[in-house]
Structure 1
């Protein structure tokens, strides 16, 4: 028995630092006095602590980290190098976080002013990185390596989903280009069927890759992949559509979420007292309400500035446009000021204004600001609950000092989705467009009827004085299909 005790204490002496030997009793006595359980000896003579939190079996002589009292701890090196102080760590983290904050702001504004295509590239990169981070937190590396098609299927489903969603947007917003191109026309006409067959191929490949002993893991990955596709890729698709509808519908939701996040922090540390939700202990009711008021005020002022620029309010009709070239369009009526009577003020009163002239967009921004303040934060709470489920601090380390991309975009996805639905329901003006007319003519008319349509439009434009008589003569002489059918 003495031999085992000697071996054990030699191992403990080897793992302790030089300056910790004299303080063994002093460091252990407080825990004994407070009623903490002493270490117990297992069958092989090693020691372990009787604690419910120690859920992993550890050999008695295999501990790598020890405190001054000789007990195993985390994040302590065996070397004698002095540990970095908490202040230095916080300082370094703050500097890194600040630098990358300004880098992200610079990239965001540079891409937005450079043109819509650059913003689309940024959004695409964000959704791919976020998808990668969400997929990674449920992955088991050892099992993923033994099942070589697991990661391949994840990326295949991402690619097929993006093909479907991006194709839908391109066909909808650029019908006048896609439907008149001989190469692109078959892909546009049969886009949904092609997308469905791509998914079916992935589904069949998944079923064929199932291996005995790994069923639970493989079906978990399959379900997790589809959840990530819905929560990230599908919602990012609607953000893409916001860009096509006009830069303001992309920029405003993004800025409202950022503004709300900043003022929730400022108001919370200033006069926050009441905890809001247990998932995020630092969130307070006072910060929640204060951020709502500040977001409405800033959203109102920001909208008043943005809607003066056609580059922001015009739908995309030229992907090569930028802030300097601008865009030309007939403004949506929501941006045109109207005169409204102020309620509850008698008309004969002269001291107070009885009417106010504002654009309807200022009323809509109140709704959008309220959603960004009261509902969008629950996207962040959802992400917090997800991280607690997997016992992780961040989704990744894609952005130094900030964690993963998903940590920064958790509220943006649901806010962008809401902005699209709200715009389509209450703001969008539905009228015939060149693209929709061409689509109807191509899909609903025969070749002979299409020729007649062209001739009819030409005659109408001639009668309106928009084209000359030579155009009619040219069409009559060269559109042989119509001549033969007569």
Structure 2
């Protein structure tokens, strides 16, 4: 058997070890892929090919299609159950997605043989992930729930010094990394350090903005995500229907016709989906109660972007006024970005995989590859949604949390007491019972 020529027995410290050499393991510049697909041999690999039951090409495609379809429905079901169960469940899914995606991206640049000799390489990767998530999650919680954190005796120091604590945690990891550098492994260690920070930026930081979109209102999370999925579906349908011209070499199956056709279909879908979501406060209201769900709902004064505004048609010679929600105009920008820009996140991921000669980032989802393979366009779309919302849609009014934060950080204790007495006197003059005020202060 030809395989025997590559099998050598090494004696080390009196022990016998089986080592298998291959072209992949002999080339140090080509890292192994996730799951040990390169440079590792399982027990099944020693079974002669003639003893393995060979499946026809049709049977392989059939099994792959069935597996892919089943898991597609499973993912859709889990997503909608979490969507209607409440914001906290969607946040949990986003957290799991960014952790698994980080793991998959880190794994493709990993070299097991070198990592084995460097004890803390993997630990440092996860430490930087934990530190980054602590900083970003803390920023979100403090911004949206400062009216709760800043009045709590235990959480107040953590909230007021959050950024400094996060910085110290990062510096500790940086110092430990420098202290762990070993002669002969400098290039690998610095490559891992740079690769880790690239993964943190491309995955964890962008996922942080997706998280903030959820706090601003479920529509700012669900609508962009659905636009990307819709665009991907119609790009495939339009591509196989009348696609002729190749769009980009990184994805040979992508066509210009499919690209443009999907753009038009995504705009149409976005218009009708927006019109439906705007009718439910559960989707358009910012989160003020993490325990809410589709049954309990949310209450708020809707953002003006969801309120019909009058538009005169005199500019086109018609003496008529129509009423349209401004969001219907904004959806054109969202759909256009999801169709023309977000796909380049997928092209970027394709180029990355080609550079490491792997098909998928991992095998987290049977039939679909890794989580990163499904989220490559979603991260940049979520980032865009956050920036667009805060630039053109958000209404900045003083909130209770803002006033409490200003009073705590900008006033002395005596001045804070003076504010409390002034508010108490005002409420008393307005007919509010002092007993109710005292009860609230004791809570």
- Give me the TM-score of the superposition, normalised by structure 2: 0.88
CA distance in 2, matches of 1:81, 1:446: 78
Kindly state the Cα deviation for residue 314 of structure 1 after the two structures are TM-superposed: 0.5
* SS of the residue 1:133 aligns to: helix
Residue 79 of structure 2: aligned partner: 108
Q: CA deviation at 1:464?
A: 2.7
| Distance (whole Å) between structure 1 residues aligned to residue 174 and residue 316 of structure 2 | 65
What SS class does the counterpart of residue 97 from structure 1 fall into?
Answer: helix
- Which of 186, 199, 218 matches 1:215? 186
Task: State the distance in 2 between where 1:196 and 1:77 align.
Answer: 56
Evaluate the alpha carbon distance shift between residue 248 and residue 56 of structure 1 in structure 2; reply closer, same or farther with a 3 A threshold: closer
Cα distance in 1 between the residues matched to 2:339 and 2:68 = 24
Structure 2 residue 90 is the aligned partner of structure 1 residue 119: yes
1:97–1:147 distance in 2 versus 1, CA, 3 Å: same
Between 190-199 and 356-365, the greater mean CA deviation after superposition:
356-365
SS at 1:79 equivalent: helix
CA distance in structure 2 between the partners assigned to 1:397 and 1:97 by the alignment: 12
What corresponds to 2:389 in structure 1? 423
2:152 counterpart of 1:181:
yes
How far off is 1:82 after superposition? 4.8
CA contact (8 A) 2:91 2:211 kept: yes
**Residue aligning to 1:40:** none
Q: CA deviation at 1:235?
A: 0.2
For residues 391 and 284 of structure 2, the distance between their equivalents in structure 1, rounded to whole angstroms, comes to 17
> How far apart, CA to CA, are the structure 1 residues paired with 2:189 and 2:207?
26
Structure ranking higher on relative contact order (CA contacts 8 Å, 6+ apart):
2
- Counterparts of 1:44-55 in structure 2, within 5 Å, are none
Report the Cα offset of residue 470 of structure 1: 5.7
Counterpart of 1:310 in structure 2 is: 281
State the number of aligned residues.
405
Partner of 1:407: 373
- Report what 1:65 is aligned to: none
Runs of 4+, deviation exceeding 3 Å: 54-57, 74-77, 469-472
1:355 aligned residue (311, 314, 321): 321
- 2:218 and 2:282 in contact (8 A); partners too: yes
Structure 1 segments unaligned to the other structure (5+ residues)? 1-10, 16-53, 58-73, 349-353, 480-486
Matches within 5 A, 1:308-457: 308-342=279-313, 344-347=315-318, 354-457=320-423
CA distance 1:76–1:92, shift in 2 (3 Å) = farther
SS at match of 1:210: coil
Q: Distance in 1 between matches of 2:46 and 2:338?
A: 39
- The equivalent residue for 2:217 is 246
Task: Compute the RMSD of aligned alpha carbons.
Answer: 2.2
Q: Distance in 1 between matches of 2:277 and 2:380?
A: 22
The DSSP-based 3-state class of the residue aligned with 1:431 is coil
Offset of residue 455 of structure 1: 1.1
Contact 2:424–2:434 (CA under 8 A) maintained in structure 1 = no
1:238-257 C-alpha deviation (Å, 9 max, x unpaired): 00000000000000010000
Deviation at 1:343, TM superposition (A): 5.8
Tell me, in whole angstroms, the C-alpha distance in 2 between the residues paired with 1:459 and 1:216: 68
User: What do residues 1-57 of structure 1 show as CA deviations (whole Å, max 9, x unaligned)?
Assistant: xxxxxxxxxx78x99xxxxxxxxxxxxxxxxxxxxxxxxxxxxxxxxxxxxxx9999
Q: Which residue of 2 aligns with 1:169?
A: 140
- Alpha-carbon distance in 2 for matches of 1:333, 1:402: 40
Match of 1:139 among 99, 110, 120: 110
Name the SS of the counterpart of 1:283 in structure 2.
Answer: strand
Q: Which residue in the other structure is 1:468 paired with?
A: 433
Alignment partners' CA distance in 1, 2:58 and 2:370: 24
Q: Measure, in 2, the Cα distance between the counterparts of 1:186 and 1:254.
A: 36
The CA distance in 1 between the partners of 2:434 and 2:63, in whole Å, is 76
Alpha-carbon offset, residue 342 of structure 1: 2.9
- Structure with the greater alpha carbon radius of gyration: 1
Supply the distance in 1 between the matched residues of 2:435 and 2:241 (Cα, whole angstroms): 76
Three-state SS of the structure 2 residue aligned to 1:276 is strand
Q: Distance in 1 between matches of 2:334 and 2:423?
A: 43
CA, structure 1 residues 209+339, in 2 after alignment: closer, same or farther (shift >3 Å)?
A: same
- C-alpha offsets along residues 78-99 of structure 1, whole Å, 9 cap, x if unaligned? 3255521111000000000000
- Contact 2:243–2:256 (CA under 8 A) maintained in structure 1: yes
Q: 1:203 aligns with which of 158, 174, 177?
A: 174
